Amino acid sequence: MRRSFKQFFQGLFAAAAVASVLISPALAAEKKDFKVAWSIYVGWMPWGYAAESGIVKKWADKYGINIEVKQFNDYVESINQFTAGAFDAVTITNMDALSIPAAGGVDTTAIIVGDFSNGNDAVILKDKDKLEDIKGQKVNLVEFSVSHYLLARALESIKAQEKDLKVVNTSDADMAAAFKTPEVTAVVTWKPIVSTILESPDAHEVFDSSKIPGEIIDLMVANTEVVKDNPKFGKALAGIWYETISKMKADKEAKEAMAKASGTDVKGFDKMLATTQMYYEPKDAVAFTTSGELKTTTERVSKFLFEKSLLGKDAKTEGAVGVEFPDKTVFGDKGNVKFRYDATFMNEAAEGKLQASAQ
């Protein structure tokens, strides 16, 4: 599951910093073999299908490289493996990319902006139907995940703060069952858990990610040095992605395969896609990535992470980890840029250059 968090933040930054120092020299070179990690989430299912259907091999062959795509059942573990240098790229949210590899010292580049949550994440109350009713309640969620961020944004919309309630850290695996117990009256979670909980007549959705469009973003990121020294890797990933999502949109068998792999049927998969803003066209992904809205979102996310002490133990400001945008402007510390949005490969896909250059 995407965003399936554990309490792993203690000691993370030190470990990641050591890993980045150890692996950096080896990364700064051209190579032929690459490893990509992904985990189960509606917006990332194309990666598994691409590997199984031969699309990955086709694009890797076009560029004379080898790409291994590995599925992780534990989202956090996939990020940890990327941070440690065992993988060259990983599927991840914008918030987690900033707080884990980037804050841990690993220079990370978002090369594909695939989608954003547009209703997949929600705040649900029991026997109450107004967000204001959340005040004074215990709220069960996966602490420090995007659910925690969604709660913060929801509270902001009603001029409330986290001190007005109590957060209870709860595993996503336990969330649906927890809601059925008398003591749990408020939860923040994501689909398909949201759909399961809303089957209960006493459950009421009072806020969801469609109220903050474009803030919970799903990415494919790569180690900056790897993609800088091996642009063919970035080109191949973009080619794989856009060919595969076009199949997901138009090919019945492809969608059926992705739905089955994600543990549902086509109907259930379509429901999740309906609340996911997929960027099927690379030009649309480029427009989003080069927009001013992304810069505003980055500032909001950085502020949240700083307030939760997730930008590193030595972080003094919300801009402690610099974030670079496609126009080369930087939010935060220009001397410590560790997270970058790069529209280069999406642009090449939009301009039809990938197919031509790969032949």
Predicted local distance difference test score (pLDDT) of residue 258: 96
Residues 257 and 344 in one domain: yes
Predicted local distance difference test score (pLDDT) of residue 73: 86
Dihedral over Cα of 158, 162, 163, 166: its sign: positive
Residue 7 covered by a domain: no
Predicted local distance difference test score (pLDDT) of residue 342: 98
Residues 103 and 232 in one domain: yes
Give pLDDT tens digits for 154-163: 999 999 999 9
Residue 1 covered by a domain: no
CATH number of 169's domain: 3.40.190.10
Residues 79 and 133 in one domain: no
Query: Distances in Å between the alpha carbon of 87 and those of 26, 27, 65, 91, 302?
Result: 13, 11, 15, 11, 25
Domain end marker among 155, 178, 211: 211
Domain holding 306, by residue range, is: 12-116+216-358
Q: Round to whole Å and give the CA distance between 148 and 138.
A: 13
Give pLDDT tens digits for 168-221: 999 888 999 999 999 999 999 998 899 999 999 999 999 999 999 999 999 999
Q: Round to whole Å and give the CA distance between 155 and 63.
A: 48
Give pLDDT tens digits for 299-355: 999 999 999 999 988 899 999 999 999 999 999 999 999 999 999 999 999 999 997
Q: Apex CA 353: angle with CA 348 and CA 354, to 5°?
A: 85
Query: Bigger pLDDT: 27 or 109?
Result: 109
Domain end marker among 211, 239, 261: 211
For 120, half-sphere exposure in the C-beta direction (CA atoms, 13 angstrom radius) is: 31
Residues 97 and 157 in one domain: no
Residues 352 and 245 in one domain: yes
